[in-house]
């Protein structure tokens, strides 16, 4: 079964949603723990923003976003802008992204990425932001790579003790490449479900 993007409801986490959080089950205990124990407080402290994903009234996923930067030298030569004069690019970071274990492989993760792209487009109307980053769990790397995320170019010695893999996508270039005559405003969050 595949869940359609149109059948999903994306809502910003509020106190009214707290009773849904304990029912969320995923294979990664840290991701569930964050949602239940920290997501709302972090949002109250303005250190992150979490969106919940509902399908037929059931919590089936969530993602948390924060601001980030990525060093210009960590990008592949095909990404970024050759004339960019600063050492870092502004970025939007996917701090957490999880699907309820009963709804895995049904298109929820893809739908969440599309929603993140639409949020990014909205942000770029107000602030500079070119890249989307994520520190992916090793089990999630293939998922992100299917959507054209690349491994950041980082000295392997700095990565040896990390439990995550730093990935990024130059979303500006990706959307321009995928563009088939439709204006990017078609992806705008205000027009998305």
pLDDT at 192 over 60: no
How far is 98 from 108, CA to CA, in rounded Å? 9
Alpha-carbon torsion (56, 20, 30, 49), positive or negative: positive
- The tens digit of pLDDT for each residue in 161-180 reads 778 889 999 988 877 776 65
Q: What is the mean pLDDT of residues 135-145?
A: 93
Task: Give the integer Cα–Cα distance in Å for 43 and 176.
Answer: 32
Q: How far apart are CA 189 and CA 78, in angstroms?
A: 27
- Tell me the pLDDT band of 193, cut-offs 50, 70 and 90: very low
Where do the domains of the chain lie, and which CATH numbers do they carry?
5-191 (3.40.630.30)
Identify whether the C-beta of residue 52 lies closer than 8 Å to the C-beta of residue 17: yes
Closest to 97 (Cα-Cα) out of 154, 190, 167, 161: 167
- d(C-alpha 42, C-alpha 64), whole Å: 10
């Amino acid at each position: 079964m595949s869940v359609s993007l149109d059948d999903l409801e994306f809502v910003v986490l509020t106190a009214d949603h707290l009773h849904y959080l304990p029912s969320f089950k995923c294979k990664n205990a840290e991701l569930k723990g964050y949602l239940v124990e920290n997501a709302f407080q972090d949002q109250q402290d303005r250190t992150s923003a979490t969106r919940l994903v509902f399908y037929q009234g059931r919590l089936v996923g969530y993602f948390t976003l924060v601001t980030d930067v990525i060093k210009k030298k960590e990008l592949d030569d095909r990404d970024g802008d050759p004339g960019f004069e600063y050492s870092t690019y502004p970025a939007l970071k996917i701090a957490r992204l999880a699907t309820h274990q009963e709804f895995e492989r049904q298109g929820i993760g893809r739908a969440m990425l599309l929603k993140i792209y639409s949020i990014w487009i909205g942000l770029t109307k107000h602030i500079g932001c070119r890249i989307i980053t994520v520190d992916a769990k090793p089990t999630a790397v293939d998922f992100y790579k299917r959507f054209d995320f690349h491994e950041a170019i980082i000295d392997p010695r700095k990565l040896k003790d990390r439990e995550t893999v730093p990935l990024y996508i130059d979303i500006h270039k990706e959307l321009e490449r995928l563009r088939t005559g439709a204006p990017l405003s078609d992806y705008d969050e205000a027009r998305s479900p």
